[in-house]
Structure 1
């Protein structure tokens, strides 16, 4: 984990940009603080409840990378402004109007960034002219909103069939932000922050001249999906589950105590098909966790295995982010020894 943090920080320093990791991967105040100590300029969250946990834990610069508009959630955001810089994200005129009306009513200003769709086809305004039009609306009609940045997330990189395709997606991710920002500035709207995300693409998109920030989340741990995409190796994967063989049919199957409530049923977002089974069993390529029930991981055996009843294995999850959210705490291991236990502070914070 420490090496993974240093990898991102070294990359950011080399290219003269900032990094703002997405903490939905680890949901831990301790890890967030370590990322900031290693050079991160702040953090990214997906939910207001995550922002609340992190702000109360002492993190003072937080991007909520999710479009908010309801009165209740904006009230909760406003309550955090005395503790931290909170940045909201906008992707439509209608949403901007709701946010403006709320903050105008309470007499506060707030920093906002515009979300640009770089190809994921989820949230976000199209790059180019549509981005300019939204920026003009915010600048001209929303005096309580301080427009400071554009950002995007190329999550469709997870569906890439090759690393070359990841590179192409990442290059466009950076270019569409820079070009949209330049268009805004040509019309008198300064764009200070040009931010890109996605662990598979950040090392490509961050090289595009004009990008100022990257926001990789999964890069703190990596996982089997990142290995499948060619972004990381198994040795770089920091999050692992310890599983025990609880039932054994020699030559046929064995059962681990790691079911869907610990490994999750995730085999990859946005069409990813690079993983095999439901987690990589370290040092045992003959074992494939073929199916999961709630408490059971049923594995097939290809040939012979040395594993038997009560043997323990390490499992690298397919998707670290979903697995971390299933546990109350993690054990911190150095040189094979447990040295600390850390709480997963924002576990279940999805409101």
Structure 2
């Protein structure tokens, strides 16, 4: 068991480290933005997958949480968190039965919907229960993944929800994940404005038809501070902003020193004739992500803190093969911290965070929802 009071550099490697001071600062920043702009905050927990961190976000002012999958929602509900949006379209009976179990635990549950067939199935399965399920319409704001088109398609879906006895419409939301492929901050700004308008204008169109829309929600760490300021938006759902990572820094969304999550790694081999070192962190630790949705906004497979001369050029399962530009002070068994390119999938590979303050271990927190992908 990891002992408090140790230097992080005494730990075995690879280890997932979380800087508590940076984490708390990032949580405050999200909460302050929401408060200052009169918005509700519903952070996405798929980044951290920890009930401890989710509760910190709730204590800072969040109204509830967002999850990607039912498995994450089940973990959070067991931890006592009762206001949960599952931002994923669900239609299979075996999955709806799990939703019904959550409703039976008095979880205030909301589920994404984006097509008529799905509505019919949800209503059919819910008709066998005493519960009514709250659904939120997902609109497509440019990612072209899930979601109806803004405007008339959203209105048509809303009208059909109104006809279902076991479903009630609670909100309209979107996710501008394509902002991760933006080539510049100016393009991120443009995407964020369109994201906010897609939701706000769809909500306005529904209300012109006499269908009230209580929640108008936007997400995506690169855009939430832009879309959240669009008139008519009343909720934001940032996820990655709890930690940040090298991709966010590469996009210009944050500074690299705000990244709270790092991987502790050791030099497993040094090969001067090839100008390379090998780190004990391969794809099973750092993942192969170099920029979501098409933009390679980072160099290599992780940022080696304090060693700009090192670039992790390629990963095999257990090895990080890094090139040396010029000279390096790193020797065999030396230990470094690596900021992952994409924090979310890296977290999903570990069982726990080792918490530290200025490099001294203070605690260990379980990542209870890791691997919960159903």
Q: Name stretches of at least 5 consecutive residues in structure 1 with no aligned partner.
A: none
Shift of 1:107: 2.9
> With structure 2 as the length reference, what TM-score do the two structures score?
0.93
> Does structure 1 residue 55 correspond to structure 2 residue 77?
yes
Shift of 1:105: 2.0
Counterparts of 1:35 and 1:272, CA distance in 2: 29
Shift of 1:306: 0.8
Counterparts of 1:152 and 1:258, CA distance in 2: 35
> Does structure 1 residue 20 correspond to structure 2 residue 42?
yes
Counterparts of 2:140 and 2:165, CA distance in 1: 25
SS in 2 for 1:305: coil
> Does structure 1 residue 98 correspond to structure 2 residue 134?
no
User: 299, 317, 335: which is aligned to 1:312?
Assistant: 335
Counterparts of 1:77 and 1:279, CA distance in 2: 37
Counterparts of 1:229 and 1:83, CA distance in 2: 40
- Once the two structures are superposed, what CA deviation does each residue of 1:307-337 show, in whole Å capped at 9, x if it has no partner? 1111111100000000000000110111221
Counterparts of 1:183 and 1:45, CA distance in 2: 27
- Once the two structures are superposed, what CA deviation does each residue of 1:197-218 show, in whole Å capped at 9, x if it has no partner? 0000000000001101000000
> Does structure 1 residue 197 correspond to structure 2 residue 219?
yes
Residue aligning to 1:159: 181
Residue aligning to 2:258: 236
SS in 1 for 2:296: coil
Contact 1:277 1:291 in 2 (8 A): yes
Shift of 1:110: 1.2
Residue aligning to 2:19: none
Which runs of 4 or more aligned residues in structure 1 lie more than 2 Å from their structure 2 counterparts after TM superposition?
Answer: none
Residue aligning to 1:76: 98
Residue aligning to 2:109: 86
> Does structure 1 residue 335 correspond to structure 2 residue 335?
no
Greater relative contact order: 1 or 2 (C-alpha under 8 angstroms, separation 6 or more)? 2
Alignment of 1:99-118 (within 5 A): 99-118=122-141
Residue aligning to 1:174: 196
Residue aligning to 1:253: 276
Residue aligning to 2:349: 326
> Does structure 1 residue 184 correspond to structure 2 residue 240?
no
Residue aligning to 1:283: 306
Residue aligning to 2:241: 219
SS in 2 for 1:105: coil
Counterparts of 2:276 and 2:296, CA distance in 1: 24
Residue aligning to 1:122: 145
Q: Name stretches of at least 5 consecutive residues in structure 2 with no aligned partner.
A: 1-22
Q: Output the aligned Cα RMSD.
A: 0.8
SS in 1 for 2:143: coil
Counterparts of 2:36 and 2:108, CA distance in 1: 26
Contact 1:240 1:314 in 2 (8 A): yes
SS in 2 for 1:180: helix
Residue aligning to 1:293: 316
Counterparts of 1:144 and 1:77, CA distance in 2: 13
> With structure 1 as the length reference, what TM-score do the two structures score?
0.99
Counterparts of 2:109 and 2:170, CA distance in 1: 12
Counterparts of 2:120 and 2:270, CA distance in 1: 60
Shift of 1:83: 3.7
- Once the two structures are superposed, what CA deviation does each residue of 1:27-79 show, in whole Å capped at 9, x if it has no partner? 01111111111111111001111111010011111000000001110000110
Contact 1:56 1:83 in 2 (8 A): no
Shift of 1:108: 1.5
Shift of 1:97: 0.7
